[in-house]
Amino acid sequence: MQGQGTWYTVGYAVAVFGVIWLYLIVVAVRIGRIKITWVYPAVVLVLPILAAGFQLYGILTFRVRTWGGPRTAVVDVEAAPAVDAAGHDPDLLQEVVVVP
């Protein structure tokens, strides 16, 4: 009985998504929007791939400074002399390690 867990998992997923898709088909027919029925399988297939891509992008770029706007250039110019005098690099994260 090697590998039966995979078939049970696939069968469960197909049953759950199949029931949802059947309900979606019934509602789409009742409201007269038949093309909607093909969007759900596409979303079920594409959404996990896109979510993984967004998570990977977030993991790879989480240290990049992204906040700000048009006023940050002015603030950076005003704050630069004080930062330079203190010897800190504003683009580096200050990490604190707490050892119990």
Q: Is residue 99 part of a domain?
A: no
The two tokens of residue 47 are 């959404």
Judged against a pLDDT cut of 80, whether residue 16 lies above it is answered with yes
Judged against a pLDDT cut of 80, whether residue 93 lies above it is answered with no
Range of the domain at 24: 4-86
Between CA 47 and CA 61 the distance in angstroms is 21
Q: Is residue 17 part of a domain?
A: yes
**What is the reported pLDDT for 62?**
79
Taking CA atoms, 16 is separated from 44, 52, 83, in Å, by 12, 22, 57
Model pTM score: 0.48
Q: Is residue 76 part of a domain?
A: yes
Neighbours of 17 (CB within 10 A): 13
> Per residue in 56-81, pLDDT tens?
998 888 776 666 665 555 655 565 66
DSSP class of 2: T
Q: Is residue 62 part of a domain?
A: yes
Q: Is residue 41 part of a domain?
A: yes
Q: Considering the chain, what is the average pLDDT of its residues?
A: 78
Q: Is residue 95 part of a domain?
A: no
